[in-house]
């Protein structure tokens, strides 16, 4: 019987071929042979599937589109004892595998990374600086999230009824219930939306969505704000 993978890396994708072209070789280069990579697809129309085949990673067509549902479906089929949820436009530190394993071996039940952007803009440097602090209010999916399968099954995954702020809801739940570590290493995330919208304008919209979420706004209202106010490069 084949030995199960140590870590299952679950990536939600929707037309992410340009990002996957650099991410998949990077994960293979700096990861381990027994790390499993799952691409949870929301209906891509580009060449992402062909790329997955080239790199011999698992392709999972999902029944529902959206980061939360796609990540949940990826977790359901994952075989690793550790689940690492990663966005396609993010690069973890080169020693991400040992960082994750060491964190969980120290008794932490979940973890994430500090953040930096691939654009050396003063506002984004300031924005990212705050991610060193252990507050659930500033934890989002682009900082990565990892946990043990046992803890995932105990606390549950992303809420199926959420399409916006589902990552912050999950971080808040896990940080409240268990020991969560902010790993002192950097996840490098794409600034593509900041470039497309302007850093200050986009942060204002994100703050508006964040404020409305914590004030109890409906998912429909939050999603409408996102779609109408933000230019997402993937939709261009």
E strands, 74-208, in order: 82-85, 90-91, 110-117, 145-148, 180-189
pLDDT band at 233 (very low <50, low <70, confident <90, very high): confident
- Same domain for 171 and 216, yes or no, is no
pLDDT band at 188 (very low <50, low <70, confident <90, very high): very high
- Same domain for 166 and 212, yes or no, is no
As a residue count, the chain comes to 236
Per DSSP, the three-state class of 159 is coil
- Whether the pLDDT of residue 210 is over 70: the answer is yes
Q: How far apart are CA 112 and CA 186, in angstroms?
A: 9
- C-alpha distances in Å from residue 59, one per residue of 48, 73, 94, 188: 9, 12, 24, 24
- Same domain for 158 and 44, yes or no, is yes
Contact 230, 208 (CB under 8 A): no
Average pLDDT over every residue of 42-51:
92
- Same domain for 73 and 171, yes or no, is yes
* pTM as predicted: 0.94
Domain count along the chain = 2
Residue-wise pLDDT tens digits, 159-170: 989 989 999 999
Contact 132, 182 (CB under 8 A): yes
- Same domain for 176 and 220, yes or no, is no
Give pLDDT, residue 177.
79
Query: Is residue 94 situated within a structural domain?
Result: yes
Give pLDDT, residue 88.
96
Q: Give the domain range for residue 199.
A: 193-230
Provide the 10 A C-beta neighbour count for residue 100.
24
Average pLDDT over every residue of 190-201:
96
- Same domain for 51 and 151, yes or no, is yes
DSSP letter, residue 118 = S
Residue-wise pLDDT tens digits, 129-156: 999 999 999 999 999 999 999 999 999 9
Query: Is residue 2 situated within a structural domain?
Result: no
Query: Is residue 235 situated within a structural domain?
Result: no
Pairing of strands 145-148, 82-85: antiparallel
């Amino acid at each position: 019987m084949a030995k199960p993978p140590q870590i299952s890396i679950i990536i939600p994708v929707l037309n992410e071929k340009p990002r996957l072209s650099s991410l998949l070789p990077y994960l293979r280069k700096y990861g381990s042979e027994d790390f499993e990579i799952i691409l949870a697809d929301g209906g891509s129309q580009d060449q992402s599937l062909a790329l997955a085949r080239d790199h011999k990673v698992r392709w999972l067509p999902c029944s529902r589109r959206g980061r939360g549902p796609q990540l949940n479906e990826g977790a359901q089929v994952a075989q690793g004892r550790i689940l690492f949820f990663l966005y396609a436009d993010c690069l973890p530190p080169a020693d991400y595998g040992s960082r994750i394993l060491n964190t969980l071996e120290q008794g932490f039940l979940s973890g994430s990374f500090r953040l930096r952007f691939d654009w050396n803009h003063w506002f984004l440097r300031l924005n990212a600086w705050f991610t060193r602090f252990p507050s659930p209010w500033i934890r989002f999916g682009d900082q990565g999230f990892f946990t043990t399968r046992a803890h995932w099954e105990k606390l549950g995954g992303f809420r199926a009824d959420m399409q916006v702020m589902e990552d912050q809801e999950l971080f808040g739940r896990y940080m409240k219930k268990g020991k969560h570590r902010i790993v002192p290493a950097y996840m490098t995330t794409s600034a593509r939306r900041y470039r497309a919208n302007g850093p200050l304008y986009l942060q204002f919209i994100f703050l508006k969505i964040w404020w409305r979420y914590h004030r109890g706004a409906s998912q429909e209202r939050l999603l409408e704000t996102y779609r109408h106010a933000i230019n997402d490069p993937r939709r261009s």
